[in-house]
């Protein structure tokens, strides 16, 4: 295994080379068995607590195989509350090898499936159809939680002999749809399907995106690009479908957005390994975006530990509003202050649903991006520039501007004016009944105002470039008891209702001299 990658071990190989005519086959000797012959081998073993992140099971594939089928199972002994029980992922690399960032990747299903098949013509979702070539393949087990008793596993490999079927032809989605020129476009950039651990078919996700009033969506299945080749038939002039991947490591998840169809990004490393930056560069070279996802999600291996130096944006709002999103917004807001201090680039915020299955809502939340056109490169430019606000649904509309000295700047932009010149901050919002509008600067919340029951209103506040280095807006729902948020107070309970909309900042810069 490549030195740069995560800890791994390799088991003793399973060989079919001299086993034709074994358990269920009818052939004998070294000759290729007749078409349709199936040969099965089963491997059992035990992994102790402290097993490597990835366990490779080499499988020696002979000539003349048209399909590989793999099934696996492991025991789940009882564990005390608070102790993780057994959980094991699975995937496979072909004869081109398991080298980090190599060519051998053939699929991953995480812990979602107990079996998969690959042939030249088709494959189980999550896996890449193509030749089942002779050589050493590697089934990769990812025991991401191992009980104190250890994990007993069983892997069954079945080879079917015969001529390969016709080659699978991928149907990639186009990179452009019929837009409205330079406009604000709505899109959910973090969505799962049955191609990883979602229960929705691609057709259902595309229908859900349309129903949510979205102009675009990004497909981000965990650790595999196998869905890229099926999106073409579900895209249309009314819905741009962008290809991506959710790179799911043991030290957090990140989105590669706008990844060229078919490009795969490796996930076999931790923060301590010298690998993440290399893959971030790979995504950047391809024109894509690197976006740490749900940085404070409490699930095992889901918290972000790679820092933000290589990030183009951060997902501060993931699915229905929860306390970990508050933490992400706080971290992001602090990074805005750091950018002001250093004069370096600032980190834009994003929000996505991460919807996997019913009843998770596609588009809750989504991004509203100012782009030159409804096209992949234009939208990536808009997100990278922070010309983006986040809405819980397409029922929420919002315009946020700052005006001074006869000039105006919008979300993600900057306004340079003499330090004491008045700057008017204005938010027009609709769709948040009894909501609370907050204006937040590098000093914290500087203005709060409630919206009427109609949900529509305009909030105006005056500042200067000397008083505020940036200003951003939040629109919150009322708290559970119906009252507005508690402004600049502190207490044992959360002081804010759920987020309804969140803008990226406008930067205010005092003119020199
Ligand atoms: Zn994730
Ligand atoms: Zn996800």
**Could you tell me the distance, in angstroms and rounded to a whole number, from the CA of residue 291 to the centre of ligand 1?**
11
DSSP state of 120: S
**What pLDDT does residue 344 have?**
93
pLDDT average, residue stretch 82-95: 96
Pairing of strands 240-249, 366-371: unpaired
**Could you tell me the distance, in angstroms and rounded to a whole number, from the CA of residue 221 to the centre of ligand 1?**
9
Identify which ligand lies nearest to the alpha carbon of 356: 2
SS3 category, 95: coil
165, 163, 164, 160: which is closest to 40 by C-alpha? 160
**What pLDDT does residue 434 have?**
97
Residue percentage of the chain with pLDDT more than 90 = 92
The residue assigned the tokens 């965990």 is 222
Q: How far apart are CA 16 and CA 32, in angstroms?
A: 11
**Could you tell me the distance, in angstroms and rounded to a whole number, from the CA of residue 29 to the centre of ligand 2?**
48
The residue assigned the tokens 């200003």 is 471
Q: How far apart are CA 234 and CA 213, in angstroms?
A: 16
Identify which ligand lies nearest to the alpha carbon of 297: 1
Angle (CA) 370 374 380, round 5°: 60
> Please, what is the average pLDDT of the chain?
95
**What pLDDT does residue 22 have?**
43
**Could you tell me the distance, in angstroms and rounded to a whole number, from the CA of residue 424 to the centre of ligand 2?**
39
Q: How does pLDDT run across 330-367, given as a tens digit for each residue?
A: 999 999 999 999 999 999 999 999 999 999 999 999 99
Of 213-222, 241-250, 488-497, which gets the smallest average pLDDT? 488-497
SS3 category, 491: coil
Phi/psi of residue 282, each to 5°?
A: -60, -45
Using a CB cutoff of 5 Å, list residues around ligand 1, an ion: 253, 293
**Could you tell me the distance, in angstroms and rounded to a whole number, from the CA of residue 219 to the centre of ligand 2?**
10
**Could you tell me the distance, in angstroms and rounded to a whole number, from the CA of residue 297 to the centre of ligand 2?**
11
**Could you tell me the distance, in angstroms and rounded to a whole number, from the CA of residue 295 to the centre of ligand 1?**
9
Phi/psi of residue 12, each to 5°?
A: -65, 140
Q: How far apart are CA 504 and CA 241, in angstroms?
A: 24
Phi/psi of residue 253, each to 5°?
A: -115, 145
**Could you tell me the distance, in angstroms and rounded to a whole number, from the CA of residue 293 to the centre of ligand 2?**
8
SS3 category, 338: helix
Q: How far apart are CA 412 and CA 66, in angstroms?
A: 53
Task: Evaluate if residue 143 carries a pLDDT over 90.
Answer: yes
**Could you tell me the distance, in angstroms and rounded to a whole number, from the CA of residue 447 to the centre of ligand 1?**
34
C-alpha dist (Å) from residue 256 to 235, 260, 283, 446: 20, 10, 7, 35
**What pLDDT does residue 23 have?**
44
210, 212, 264: which is closest to 239 by C-alpha? 210
142, 10, 16, 11: which is closest to 67 by C-alpha? 16
Bridge partners of 214, per DSSP, are: none
The helices-and-strands tally (H runs, E runs) of the chain is 4, 29
Q: How does pLDDT run across 146-187, given as a tens digit for each residue?
A: 999 999 999 999 999 999 999 999 999 999 999 999 999 999
Contact status, residue 135 vs residue 233, Cβ threshold 8 Å: no
**What pLDDT does residue 27 have?**
42
Quote the tokens at residue 268: 């076999």
More confident call, 358 vs 29: 358
Q: How does pLDDT run across 454-472, given as a tens digit for each residue?
A: 999 999 999 999 999 999 9
Quickly state the pLDDT bin for 112 (edges 50, 70, 90).
very high
**Could you tell me the distance, in angstroms and rounded to a whole number, from the CA of residue 265 to the centre of ligand 1?**
15
Quickly state the pLDDT bin for 25 (edges 50, 70, 90).
very low
pLDDT average, residue stretch 319-331: 97
Q: How far apart are CA 142 and CA 8, in angstroms?
A: 9
Contacts of 3 (CB under 8 A, 6+ apart): none
DSSP state of 260: P
Quickly state the pLDDT bin for 102 (edges 50, 70, 90).
very high
pLDDT average, residue stretch 388-414: 98
Q: Give me the half-sphere count of Cα atoms (radius 13 Å) on the Cβ side of residue 472.
A: 24
363, 370, 358: which is closest to 398 by C-alpha? 370
Identify which ligand lies nearest to the alpha carbon of 193: 2
**Could you tell me the distance, in angstroms and rounded to a whole number, from the CA of residue 382 to the centre of ligand 1?**
23
**What pLDDT does residue 24 have?**
44
**Could you tell me the distance, in angstroms and rounded to a whole number, from the CA of residue 248 to the centre of ligand 1?**
7
To the question of pTM greater than 0.85 for the whole model, the response is yes
C-alpha dist (Å) from residue 510 to 162, 185, 417, 473: 73, 31, 5, 21
**What pLDDT does residue 18 have?**
53
Residue 214 CB burial class (10 angstroms; 0-12, 13-18, ≥19): buried
**Could you tell me the distance, in angstroms and rounded to a whole number, from the CA of residue 191 to the centre of ligand 2?**
6
**What pLDDT does residue 159 have?**
98
The residue assigned the tokens 């306004």 is 415
**Could you tell me the distance, in angstroms and rounded to a whole number, from the CA of residue 220 to the centre of ligand 2?**
7
Contact status, residue 65 vs residue 114, Cβ threshold 8 Å: no
Quote the tokens at residue 430: 């609709």
**Could you tell me the distance, in angstroms and rounded to a whole number, from the CA of residue 230 to the centre of ligand 2?**
19
Q: How far apart are CA 97 and CA 5, in angstroms?
A: 14
Secondary structure in 3-state letters for 34-85:
CCCCEEEEEEEEEECCCCCCEEEEEEEECCCEEEEEEEEEECCCCCCCCCCC
DSSP state of 233: G
**What pLDDT does residue 166 have?**
98
Identify which ligand lies nearest to the alpha carbon of 319: 2
Contact status, residue 334 vs residue 150, Cβ threshold 8 Å: no
Helix, strand, coil % (nearest 5) of the chain? Answer: 10, 40, 50
Q: How does pLDDT run across 1-23, given as a tens digit for each residue?
A: 444 577 899 999 999 865 444 44
Task: Evaluate if residue 270 carries a pLDDT over 50.
Answer: yes
Q: How far apart are CA 343 and CA 21, in angstroms?
A: 70
């Amino acid at each position: 295994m490549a030195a740069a990658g995560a800890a791994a071990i390799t088991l003793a190989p399973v060989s079919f080379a001299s086993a034709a005519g074994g358990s269920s086959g009818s052939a004998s000797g070294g000759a290729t068995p007749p078409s349709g012959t199936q040969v099965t081998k089963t491997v059992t073993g035990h992994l102790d607590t402290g097993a490597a992140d990835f366990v490779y099971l080499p499988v020696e594939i002979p000539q003349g195989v048209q399909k590989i089928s793999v099934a696996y199972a492991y025991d789940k002994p009882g564990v005390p509350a608070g102790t993780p029980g057994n959980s094991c992922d699975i995937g496979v690399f072909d004869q081109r090898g398991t080298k980090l960032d190599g060519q051998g990747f053939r699929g991953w299903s995480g812990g979602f499936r107990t079996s998969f098949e690959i042939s030249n013509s088709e494959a189980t979702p999550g896996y890449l159809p193509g030749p089942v070539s002779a050589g050493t393949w590697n089934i990769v087990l990812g025991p991401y939680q191992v009980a104190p008793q250890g994990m007993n596993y069983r892997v069954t490999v079945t080879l079917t002999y015969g001529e390969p079927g016709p080659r699978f032809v991928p149907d990639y989605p186009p990179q452009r749809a019929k837009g409205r020129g330079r406009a604000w476009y709505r899109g959910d950039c973090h969505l799962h399907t049955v191609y990883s651990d979602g229960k929705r078919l691609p057709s259902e996700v595309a229908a859900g995106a349309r129903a949510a009033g979205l102009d675009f969506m990004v497909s981000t299945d965990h650790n595999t690009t196998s869905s890229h080749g099926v999106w073409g038939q579900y895209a249309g002039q009314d819905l741009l479908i962008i290809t991506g991947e959710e790179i799911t490591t043991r030290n957090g998840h990140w989105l590669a957005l706008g990844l060229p169809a078919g490009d795969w990004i490796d996930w076999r490393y931790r923060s301590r390994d010298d690998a993440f930056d290399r893959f971030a560069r790979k995504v950047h070279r391809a024109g894509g975006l690197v976006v740490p996802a749900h940085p404070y999600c409490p699930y095992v291996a889901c918290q972000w530990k790679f820092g933000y130096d290589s990030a183009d944006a951060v997902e501060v709002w993931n699915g229905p509003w929860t306390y970990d999103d508050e933490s992400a917004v706080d971290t992001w807001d602090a990074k805005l202050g750091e950018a002001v201090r250093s004069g370096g680039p600032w980190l834009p915020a994003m929000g996505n649903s991460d919807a996997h299955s019913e009843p998770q809502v596609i588009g809750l939340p989504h991004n509203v991006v100012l782009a030159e056109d409804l096209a992949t490169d234009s939208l990536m430019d808009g997100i990278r520039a922070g010309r983006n606000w986040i809405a819980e649904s397409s029922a929420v509309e919002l315009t946020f501007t700052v005006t001074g000295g006869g000039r105006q700047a919008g979300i993600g932009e900057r306004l340079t004016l003499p330090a004491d010149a008045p700057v008017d901050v204005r938010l027009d919002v609709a769709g948040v009944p009894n909501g609370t509008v907050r204006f937040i600067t590098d000093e914290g919340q500087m203005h709060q105002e409630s919206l009427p029951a109609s949900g529509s209103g305009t909030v105006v506040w005056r500042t200067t470039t000397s008083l505020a280095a940036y200003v951003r807006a939040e629109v919150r729902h009322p708290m559970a008891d119906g009252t507005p948020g508690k402004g600049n107070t502190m207490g044992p309970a959360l002081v804010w209702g759920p987020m309804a909309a969140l803008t990226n900042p406008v930067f205010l810069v005092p003119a020199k001299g």
